[in-house]
A and B are shown apart, each in its own frame.
Chain A
Amino acid sequence: MSGQASQSHGAQESGSRGGDQEQYKQLYDMLLNAIPSSVLLIDSKLRVTSVNRNFLTRSQRSLSDTIGCTLAEVFPSVILERTDIKRRILEVFKSNKPSSGQRMAYRAPGMPFRTYYYRIFPIVSGTREEQVMLLMEDVTEQVRLSEEMRRMECHLASVVESASDLVLSLDTEGRILTWNTAAEKLSGFAFSRVKGQFFFEFCHSAAHSDIKNLFHRMRRSARPLTAEWELMPEKGSEIPVAWVFSPMKDDDALTVGIVAVGRDLTEQRKLEAEQRRSQKLAALGVMAGGIAHEIRNPLAVCSSAAQFLMEDGLAAEFRTECAEKIQASLQKASSIIENLLRFSRPSDKQKMAPVALATVLSETITLAANQAKVHKIKIICQLPERCPPVSGVFSLLQQVFMNLLLNAINAMPEGGELHITLEQQGGEARISIKDTGTGIAEDALDKIFDPFHTTSPVGQGVGLGLSLCYSIVKQHLGSISVDSQPGQGTTFTVSLPLL
């Protein structure tokens, strides 16, 4: 019998029925041993009457020191105490109903911990003493997996919750499903307040139709879409946020939701405004020479004419001529200063408004003309009389054109021609600024819009100029491009959507 783990002690008493009995017993043993779970039969005195091979292997016991032993001898006392298994068995004897499933951690000597799921079933037999069956299934792996899964879920949730960016999930209609702590903090709205609400309700009203459009496109898009929309917090003024919307796809590649990640741009905007201010100062510094020359000429005329007037015996005609020269010169000096003031006025906190590009360009060209003149540069300018306006901030657009003009002038130390054209192409206004200067090397063209890139020597450069041009043009939903031939010249083209 030693090769046969399963052993029914009841079977030892029944030799009278001969071969049939033996055959059934063998079949019973075979079936019992084939079960990939531990099976024990226990009588009402809590003694083991039968056991299968699975249990013996796991518990590292032999058949002989298990059959007929009490539960207390077979299971470590710590398990019996913790699982209350004795009481459960007695309960089943009493109720004749299977117990509910329970978990039990069991560790055989020298073996790692295993987790079992066990149930106790009553075995009703008219002739025999009553027994119950203890069925133990090893669920160590499942438990490990589910714990891992739970840990992973917790980890993911904590990633989302710890993020300083806003992380939202939305349904395909744009209704809020989840809203992380960063979103609660920035907006002041608790998740419970926003749950199920439409995302657009928490954005600036100017963006509502754009948001609806984006979600509409999102349903078919496989790629993330980006936007900058202002968040309307519970208290205080709107907050600029850069959003990235990514579609969540199911196994059939259908969009089932949207993940929105938003970054508060407040600090960045402040930094940009500061950069623009300091860059403007740099541009004003560059222009100082040209402006000094241009203002001191009319001042010299005024000064001399005034001195003429102080002389005695002047002809009335000449006196009038002197007065007219003084008047005209003062007007000229004053208009140079006025243009300068227009350029230097603060540009932050200005709202988008319809802007006539021809006016921006002509004001900027007038100011840059002083600089062009001292560098012997001829300005050739083609501005149409009528061009529909664009939506923009006057002073920011002026800063873009001023930077491009000053860069062009800077590129022509030996003089040259500066062509400025404004034309309407479809729904866009296209401004091109073309110089006949030194040009830009091909390998530098890629880096030209990077902040801090400059080819000018320290102290002379307007290194921030082009990266600011880029960010301002982008803010106006436009684009800027450059085309250059070293030794031939450079053309910058700015495209802006017409209103």
Chain B
Amino acid sequence: MTASSQPLLDCLIVDDEPGIAWVMEHLLLTGGYTAVSVPTGMAALAALRQQRFRLAFLDAKLPDIDGLQLAQQLRELEPAMPIILVSGYYYPDDPAILRALESDTISHFIAKPFTNGDILAVLAGLA
């Protein structure tokens, strides 16, 4: 069974913080989207091999890999999938973020704490 044969899910959430996963899941599911959350980079790559997603929300600091590094690896698997970095480690005009946006490693950056509207706006924009 290949990833392409699976139905398309809306969101992959990658965050090791259970509170954030709880927020994101609730936000997306009640917004009418489908979502799966995983706590590590390894789990994210595994999920992506089994399942296609419309977009991915990544934390910048994961237990096994840096969010920006993971973004590059996901990009190789799914070049067209928008990747949104959601992090409290960087600030919006952080040089590392500007570089990642410029090189298209990530599509958007949302700083924590965020408003629920920020997340939903990204999804609406991509719809």
Nearest CB in chain B: distance from A433 CB, A: 21
Nearest CB in chain A: distance from B13 CB, A: 13
Within 8 A of A (CB), among B70-127: 87-89, 111-116
B88 and A299 contacting across the interface, CB-CB below 8 Å: yes
- How far does the alpha carbon of A302 sit from the alpha carbon of B23 in the complex, in Å? 9
A304 and B87 contacting across the interface, CB-CB below 8 Å: no
B-contact 0/1 string along A298-333, CB 8 Å cutoff: 111111110110000000000000000100110000
B115 and A307 contacting across the interface, CB-CB below 8 Å: yes
A325 and B61 contacting across the interface, CB-CB below 8 Å: no
A299 and B112 contacting across the interface, CB-CB below 8 Å: yes
Q: A299-B88, A299-B113, A304-B113 are in contact. Are A329 and B62 (CB under 8 A)?
A: no
- Please indicate the chain A residues that have their CB under 8 angstroms from the CB of B23 in the complex: 300-301, 304-305, 325
Nearest CB in chain B: distance from A415 CB, A: 8
B114 and A293 contacting across the interface, CB-CB below 8 Å: no
Q: A304-B27, A304-B116 are in contact. Are A297 and B65 (CB under 8 A)?
A: no
B113 and A303 contacting across the interface, CB-CB below 8 Å: yes
Q: How many A-B residue pairs have CB under 8 A?
A: 69
Chain A interface category by residue count: 20 to 34
Identify A300's interface contact among B26, B66, B112, CB under 8 A: B112
How many B residues have CB within 8 A of the partner chain? 23
- How far does the alpha carbon of A293 sit from the alpha carbon of B112 in the complex, in Å? 9
**Identity of the chain A residue whose Cβ is nearest the Cβ of B59 in the assembled complex:** A297
B-to-A contact residues, CB < 8 Å: 17, 19-20, 22-23, 26-27, 60-66, 87-89, 111-116
A329 and B112 contacting across the interface, CB-CB below 8 Å: no
- Please indicate the chain A residues that have their CB under 8 angstroms from the CB of B62 in the complex: 376
Q: List 13 A-B contacts (CB under 8 A).
A: A289-B89, A295-B88, A296-B111, A297-B88, A299-B112, A300-B19, A300-B20, A300-B114, A301-B20, A302-B113, A304-B27, A329-B19, A376-B65
B65 and A296 contacting across the interface, CB-CB below 8 Å: no
Q: A300-B23, A301-B19 are in contact. Are A292 and B89 (CB under 8 A)?
A: yes
- Please indicate the chain A residues that have their CB under 8 angstroms from the CB of B88 in the complex: 292-297, 299-300
Q: Which 7 residue pairs are nearest across A and B when measured between Cβ atoms?
A: A296-B88, A301-B19, A300-B112, A300-B113, A303-B113, A304-B23, A293-B89
Q: Knowing that A301-B23, A304-B27, A325-B19 touch, tell me 13 more A-B residue pairs with CB under 8 angstroms.
A: A289-B89, A292-B89, A296-B111, A300-B113, A301-B17, A301-B19, A301-B113, A305-B23, A307-B116, A328-B19, A373-B61, A373-B63, A376-B64
**Identity of the chain B residue whose Cβ is nearest the Cβ of A321 in the assembled complex:** B22
**Which of A296, A305, A329 has its CB near the most chain B CB atoms (within 10 A)?**
A296
- Please indicate the chain A residues that have their CB under 8 angstroms from the CB of B60 in the complex: 293
Does A445 reach chain B (CB closer than 8 Å)?
no
A297 and B19 contacting across the interface, CB-CB below 8 Å: yes
Does A105 reach chain B (CB closer than 8 Å)?
no
Nearest CB in chain B: distance from A249 CB, A: 65
Nearest CB in chain B: distance from A218 CB, A: 58
- How far does the alpha carbon of A296 sit from the alpha carbon of B19 in the complex, in Å? 12
**Identity of the chain B residue whose Cβ is nearest the Cβ of A296 in the assembled complex:** B88
B-contact 0/1 string along A225-261, CB 8 Å cutoff: 0000000000000000000000000000000000000
**Identity of the chain B residue whose Cβ is nearest the Cβ of A308 in the assembled complex:** B26
- How far does the alpha carbon of A415 sit from the alpha carbon of B40 in the complex, in Å? 14
A303 and B115 contacting across the interface, CB-CB below 8 Å: yes
Does A143 reach chain B (CB closer than 8 Å)?
no
**Identity of the chain B residue whose Cβ is nearest the Cβ of A314 in the assembled complex:** B30
Nearest CB in chain A: distance from B100 CB, A: 16
Does A374 reach chain B (CB closer than 8 Å)?
yes
B19 and A298 contacting across the interface, CB-CB below 8 Å: yes
Nearest CB in chain B: distance from A372 CB, A: 10
- How far does the alpha carbon of A292 sit from the alpha carbon of B60 in the complex, in Å? 12
**Identity of the chain B residue whose Cβ is nearest the Cβ of A375 in the assembled complex:** B61
Nearest CB in chain A: distance from B47 CB, A: 20
- How far does the alpha carbon of A392 sit from the alpha carbon of B62 in the complex, in Å? 37
A297 and B26 contacting across the interface, CB-CB below 8 Å: no
**Identity of the chain B residue whose Cβ is nearest the Cβ of A311 in the assembled complex:** B30
Q: A295-B88, A300-B23 are in contact. Are A308 and B112 (CB under 8 A)?
A: no
- Please indicate the chain B residues that have their CB under 8 angstroms from the CB of A307 in the complex: 115-116
- Please indicate the chain A residues that have their CB under 8 angstroms from the CB of B61 in the complex: 293, 373-374, 376
A297 and B64 contacting across the interface, CB-CB below 8 Å: no
- How far does the alpha carbon of A272 sit from the alpha carbon of B63 in the complex, in Å? 38
- How far does the alpha carbon of A292 sit from the alpha carbon of B20 in the complex, in Å? 15
Nearest CB in chain A: distance from B87 CB, A: 7
Identify A297's interface contact among B20, B66, B115, CB under 8 A: B20
- Please indicate the chain B residues that have their CB under 8 angstroms from the CB of A302 in the complex: 113
Q: A301-B20, A325-B19, A329-B19 are in contact. Are A296 and B113 (CB under 8 A)?
A: yes
Q: A329-B19, A376-B63 are in contact. Are A297 and B116 (CB under 8 A)?
A: no
B-contact 0/1 string along A73-88, CB 8 Å cutoff: 0000000000000000
- How far does the alpha carbon of A374 sit from the alpha carbon of B68 in the complex, in Å? 13
- Please indicate the chain B residues that have their CB under 8 angstroms from the CB of A299 in the complex: 88, 112-113
- How far does the alpha carbon of A305 sit from the alpha carbon of B114 in the complex, in Å? 11
Identify A303's interface contact among B22, B66, B89, B114, CB under 8 A: B114
Nearest CB in chain A: distance from B96 CB, A: 11
